[in-house]
């Protein structure tokens, strides 16, 4: 049941990215180009996503299990620390340079986009490097 819920959620997310145009890196770069031909549509998509997610996160805070019965663990960190800032900067630079973030990149990967393939491979390499650098040392 959990796999089915994950599949449906992923398909809905991917469909939403496609319908909103957010899987198109040109649209994302247009949003980030404040000095050029700025495209505010990404801000509207983000506002809609926050509006839809806020009630769900509010309800989730009061639960210990998800509707599918599995454990529900929300992030508990409240501090802004160096790893958070460095990770945010890295994410932002990558997003601005490539026009992709992980979700849209995976959606675009499904279309066979060569830039998406390069981005996803770089993303996997970055995740592997992070795992290696932060692994527990004996």
pLDDT in tens, 14-63: 998 888 888 888 888 888 888 888 888 888 988 998 999 999 889 888 88
Question: Could you give the CA distance from residue 4 to residue 45 in angstroms, rounded to a whole number?
Answer: 26
3-state DSSP assignment of residue 134: coil
What's the predicted TM-score (pTM) here? 0.76
Q: What are the residues whose beta carbons fall under 8 Å from the beta carbon of 74, sequence distance 6 or more?
A: 57, 60, 61
On whether the CB atoms of residues 37 and 45 are closer than 8 A, the answer is no
DSSP-derived secondary structure letter, 88: H
**What are the contacts of 106-114 at 24+ separation with CB within 8 A?**
106/14, 107/14, 107/17, 107/18, 107/23, 108/23, 108/25, 110/14, 111/23
On whether the CB atoms of residues 122 and 130 are closer than 8 A, the answer is no
Q: Which two tokens stand for residue 128?
A: 């592997």
The whole-number average pLDDT for the span 81-94 is 90
pLDDT of residue 8: 92
Question: Could you give the CA distance from residue 65 to residue 68 in angstroms, rounded to a whole number?
Answer: 8
Token pair 């404040």 is found at 34
What percent of the chain is predicted at pLDDT more than 70? 100
pLDDT of residue 72: 85
């Amino acid at each position: 049941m959990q796999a089915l819920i994950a599949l449906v959620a992923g398909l809905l997310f991917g469909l939403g990215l496609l319908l909103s145009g957010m899987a198109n890196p040109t649209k994302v770069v247009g949003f980030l180009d404040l000095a050029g031909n700025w495209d505010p549509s990404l801000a509207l998509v983000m506002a809609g996503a926050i509006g839809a997610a806020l009630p769900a996160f509010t309800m989730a805070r009061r639960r210990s299990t998800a509707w599918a019965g599995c454990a529900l663990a929300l992030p508990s960190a409240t501090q802004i620390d160096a790893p958070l800032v460095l990770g945010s900067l890295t994410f932002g630079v990558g997003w601005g340079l490539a026009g992709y973030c992980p979700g849209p990149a995976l959606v675009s990967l499904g279309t066979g986009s060569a830039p998406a393939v390069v981005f996803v491979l770089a993303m996997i390499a970055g995740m592997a490097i992070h795992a290696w650098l932060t692994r527990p040392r004996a």
